[in-house]
Amino acid sequence: MLTALAYSADNGFYGLGYGYGGFFFDPTYMLVVIGLIITLIASANVKSTFAKYDKVISARRLTGAEAARRILDANGLQSVRIERVSGNLTDHFSPNEGVIRLSDATYSSSSIAAIGVAAHECGHAVQHQVGYAPIKFRNALVPVVNICSRLSIPIILIGIILGMTGLGMAGVILFSAVLLFQIVTLPTETNASRRALQTLESMDLLYDDELNGAKKVLTAAAMTYFAAVASTALQLFRLLLLVRGSSRRND
């Protein structure tokens, strides 16, 4: 996946605070607001950068799908299929299915942005082929993180309401798995972009000025992952404050 969507556990709990008189507005919600602002800025940046270089047609006029096919074949990945998927910046590689799905804005476009994105997804396919360690670790975390993300907020909420600090802290620990997953994702995404740029250059799919444009698109996309980490870290800190605050009120 080219861009990150920050994990959100806002299921009604984040808008609540708990005190002696019942529920009240929680001032630590500002941490969530700050995280949201960070992710919105990163998202706006990648969209504007992509839009800018999506208007620049590459000299070789290959489409994103054609560039992806050449890269995959050059790396012995003829079995990996390329399919079109609806949406914008919804490009992703599905290792279980052996397919790269390119969005409408990428599949048939010959822009610098489209080719850069397509090459990035090929980078993920190559990572799986060569057994890139960080992506193996990341994939192993997926089922664990799915469970932790579903259970963490209810456990924290129950711990705060019942005054069970230990239970609340257990929920915080579970939520920290989401942050760990996002941190582990960072090297897989930056490495995929690095592989993409090196391949585009070595195969002469983009020329010097075009490579600079593709690099800007991929760098902007990478920043969404850093923004996601920052946002989740702020959420984790807030949850910790809430649990510790409830513990002091119950003493």
- Number of Cβ within 10 Å of residue 55's Cβ equals 10
Active site residue 121: yes
* Sign of the alpha-carbon dihedral angle for 100, 105, 111, 117: negative
Phi, psi at residue 83, to the nearest 5°? Answer: -125, 160
CB-based contacts of 121: which residues, under 8 Å, 6+ apart?
Answer: 2, 68, 91, 92, 93, 100, 102, 192
| Residue carrying the six token digits 């605050």 | 245
Q: How far apart are CA 100 and CA 80, in angstroms?
A: 7
**66, 121, 189, 210: the active-site residue:** 121
Q: How far apart are CA 71 and CA 90, in angstroms?
A: 20
- Number of Cβ within 10 Å of residue 79's Cβ equals 8
Q: What is the DSSP string of 163-228?
A: T-HHHHHHHHHHHHHHHHHHHHHHHHHHHHHHHHHHHHHHTTSS-HHHHHHHHHHHHHHHHHHHHH
Read off the amino acid at residue 52.
K
Cβ–Cβ under 8 Å, residues 115 and 64: yes
Cβ density class 17-26: b for 16+ within 10 Å, e for less: bbeeeeeeeb
Active centre residues (catalytic): 121
